[in-house]
Structure 1
Amino acid sequence: MDKNRVEGAAKEVKGNVKEAAGKVTGSKKMEAEGKMDKAAGKVQSTVGKAKDAVK
């Protein structure tokens, strides 16, 4: 498994937590940061999957 897949999955989880915390606390900024972290994690995970497919 590629390092990017692991790091991407971790970012997605972090993003989910941040987004949920933002919703609970009513912080739109934290919620938006969580969504951005999730998106970045998905992209990084996709890159890792592509690298694994090439191998």
Structure 2
Amino acid sequence: MSLQDKAKAIAKNIEGKAQEVLGNITDNPKHKAEGKAKQIQAEAMHTVENLKDKAKNFIDKM
């Protein structure tokens, strides 16, 4: 995983958590849902980058 992509995924996750907390504090279901969605997007970004790393390692071992 490139450092830049990892940083983007971490930032997206933090942004999502903050938005979810804001939604909990203000009892705003839209903010809660958007925050959760951003966290899921960050998780997907991590998964994609991990798969890229595994594929690269596999190819390098051939």
| Paired residues of 1:15 and 1:36 also in contact (CA < 8 A) | yes
Task: State the Cα distance separating 1:4 from its structure 2 match.
Answer: 2.9
For residues 50 and 10 of structure 1, what CA distance do their matches in structure 2 show? 20
Instruction: Write the letter of the residue equivalent to 2:37.
Output: M
Question: Structure 1: which 5+ residue stretches go unaligned?
Answer: none
What TM-score do you get using the length of structure 2 for normalisation? 0.76
Question: Structure 2: which 5+ residue stretches go unaligned?
Answer: 57-62
For residues 24 and 42 of structure 2, what CA distance do their matches in structure 1 show? 20
| Residue 9 (structure 2) pairs with residue 21 (structure 1) | no
Count of matched residue pairs: 55
What TM-score do you get using the length of structure 1 for normalisation? 0.84
> Which is higher, the Rg of structure 1 or of structure 2?
2
